[in-house]
Amino acid sequence: MAKPSFARRTLCAALACGWAFASAQTADPAPDFPSKPVRIIVNSGPGVSTDILARQIGARLAEQWKQPVVVENKPGASGTLGADFVAKSPADGHTLLIGVTNLVQTQFLMRSLPYHFSRDLQPVALLARGPNALVVAANAPVNTLSEYIALVKSQPGKHAYGT
């Protein structure tokens, strides 16, 4: 598999910095948009930060659009189930997707997907950014990332991690 271009890696990195709000929407929506209820698909479970953000945004959009906005959780397969649902929905802008870094990463980690990320989904807005942190137990014998990497490499199979 060929290495992605610098522009593609940069785009993926930019999207991975926060949540991407994507839709299989036409370039020039009808002037009466939305003409029916809008669905926001969250490709993770209920109660997580992405879900909370989607519900906050959905409430604001419903007020502005004077149309119901329904948030639906479709978790599973590293976000693939929700993304596939949106990719196969009508391209009328009434089905939106909100996802996190896995939305971008999955295309590089899975051999095949039931959709094509850059062809079937269209980024609309970056909604939020959040920090990431790497932490170890306070009594761990490391103080920097370099020390941690050296420790793990020196003891293969001994250390575990969680995300």
Of 78-92, 100-114, 130-144, the poorest mean pLDDT is in: 100-114
For the four alpha carbons of 83, 80, 20 and 55, in that order, the dihedral sign comes to: positive
The pTM for the full model equals 0.67
CA distances from 30 to 57, 91, 163 (A): 21, 12, 42
Give the C-alpha separation, 88 to 38, whole Å: 15
Higher pLDDT, residue 161 or 134: 134
Q: How confident is the model at residue 25 (pLDDT cuts 50, 70, 90)?
A: very low
Instruction: Give one DSSP letter per residue of 17-77, joined into a string.
Output: TEEEEEE---SS--TT--SS-EEEEESS-TTSHHHHHHHHHHHHHHHHHTS-EEEEE---G
CA atoms within a 13 Å half-sphere pointing along the CA-CB vector of 117: 21
Q: How confident is the model at residue 28 (pLDDT cuts 50, 70, 90)?
A: low
- Kindly report the length of the chain: 163
Enumerate residues 6+ apart whose C-beta is below 8 A from 15: 101, 103, 104, 123, 126
Of 15-24, 69-78, 96-105, 145-154, the poorest mean pLDDT is in: 15-24
Given a cut of 50, whether residue 10 has pLDDT beyond it is no
Question: What backbone phi and psi angles, to 5 degrees, belong to 30?
Answer: -60, 150
Domains and CATH numbers, the chain: 6-132 (3.40.190.150), 133-163 (no CATH)
pLDDT confidence of residue 21: 36
pLDDT confidence of residue 139: 94
* Percent of the chain scoring above 90 in pLDDT: 55
Tens-place pLDDT, residues 33-64: 999 999 999 999 999 999 999 999 999 999 99
Given a cut of 60, whether residue 67 has pLDDT beyond it is yes
Q: How confident is the model at residue 99 (pLDDT cuts 50, 70, 90)?
A: confident
Given a cut of 90, whether residue 161 has pLDDT beyond it is no
